[in-house]
Structure 1
Amino acid sequence: MNIEQIWKAYKNHLKAFLHANINNPADVDDLLQEILIKSYLNLKTIKDNTSINAWLFQIARRTIIDFYRQKGRDQKLGDDELWYRQEQPGVHTQLARCLTPFIQSLTAKDAELLTQIEINGLSQKTYAEQNQLKYSTLKSRVQKAREQLHKRFSDCCELSLDAQGNISDFTPKNTQCKKC
């Protein structure tokens, strides 16, 4: 793999990792660039392509440590500046703000269905029994409603997924998306 392929595959994951550990977005961008330079300069040391992920995140961890060491030399850090003492809203917390407006933008039937199952935590079997629906029919409706909800998120934001398919980062596609 060359640096362009590696960077394309891992940039969003690294940026999400940095955001979780650094509270200043400008510092995150600087550190991301520093990680790119370090990985470019040391790419020849990689012997096994399957270890690229671990190698990049090791560079990221060391870069964060170096960042805080340098910052510590420059000034005494207060509790409000330490990333591990701050409650930062994660990707899921930020996207959760969009959930209710997006659900409400669905048809009334789909909105009620997802509200009961996804928000209120009602089991699909219980919902099917309460509404005299076949369980298999309800499962299909839930799947279709989830697809519509996913489309709402995809129309608004560019979602980055990790290796397990979980959302690791997002970028709004435009400033007109004010649902959340």
Structure 2
Amino acid sequence: MNVETIWKQYQQSLKAFLHKNVANPADVDDLLQEILIKTYHNLATVQDTKKIKSWLFQIANHTIIDFYRKRGRQLEVHSEDLWFDEQQVSLTTELAQCVAPFIDGLPEQDAKLLRAIEIDGMSQKEFAQKEGIKYSTLKSRVQKSRQKLFGVFNQCCEFSIDAQGNVMDYQKRQSDCGCK
């Protein structure tokens, strides 16, 4: 496990993460350099090589927080400088745009169910009433359909998930999964 290899593998993902969370593009390179230095100094503390990616993104997140804290003490902050004030596309929103073709690849019953609940935002109770299905039965079907969808995703993408189960990042798998 060396810094050069890790940096080559994750530098672009980290840079994209910084661009999503920092309003001024000129600050992104400075923060990326800071993350590299922190990685170099602290890499020996990582014991599980499978957690390198989440560890790097945790460093990136803390670096962004420190950056805004330090800046807040030095400058008067204007609303255009705040990354959270901008209407940016979140990782979840990006993935949502890609979900429909995967859902359409599922069996028709699963696709109809997930499209209504996950894409159109219909409540499960409302869908159950509309389709004349018991609510408890529908909840079970939703879970099974989600598992099928996850199986399709997992063939094509590798996900970094935080402790709460939220997607932090994703990468296309090297092998061809048959998706476009």
TM-score tier after normalising by the smaller chain length: 0.5 to 0.7
Structure 1 gaps of 5+ residues are 44-51, 67-78
**Cα distance, 1:148 vs. partner?**
0.9
- Alignment of 1:98 with 2:98, yes or no, is yes
Matches within 5 A, 1:146-165: 146-165=146-165
- TM-score of the two chains, using structure 1 as the length reference: 0.59
Work out which structure has the larger RCO, using CA pairs closer than 8 Å and 6 or more positions apart in sequence: 1
**Cα distance, 1:171 vs. partner?**
0.9
Could you tell me the percent identity over the aligned residues?
46
Aligned residues: 148
- Alignment of 1:132 with 2:135, yes or no, is no
| Cα distance in 2, alignment partners of residues 149 and 29 from structure 1 | 37
- TM-score of the two chains, using structure 2 as the length reference: 0.59
| Cα distance in 1, alignment partners of residues 21 and 122 from structure 2 | 35
The answer on whether the counterparts of 1:158 and 1:173 sit within 8 Å (CA) in structure 2 is yes
| Cα distance in 1, alignment partners of residues 100 and 106 from structure 2 | 10
Q: 1:149 corresponds to which letter in structure 2? A: L
Structure 2 gaps of 5+ residues are 44-54, 71-79
Matches within 5 A, 1:2-151: 15=14, 17-21=17-21, 31-32=31-32, 34-41=34-41, 56=59, 57-61=61-65, 84=83, 88-151=88-151
**Cα distance, 1:101 vs. partner?**
0.3
Q: 1:122 corresponds to which letter in structure 2? A: M
| Cα distance in 2, alignment partners of residues 63 and 39 from structure 1 | 17
The answer on whether the counterparts of 2:34 and 2:63 sit within 8 Å (CA) in structure 1 is no
**Cα distance, 1:87 vs. partner?**
5.3
Q: 2:159 corresponds to which letter in structure 1? A: L
**Cα distance, 1:95 vs. partner?**
0.8
The answer on whether the counterparts of 1:98 and 1:179 sit within 8 Å (CA) in structure 2 is no
SS in 2 for 1:170: strand
Higher Cα radius of gyration: 1
Structure 1 residues 64 and 118, CA gap change in structure 2 (3 angstroms)? same
**Cα distance, 1:100 vs. partner?**
0.7
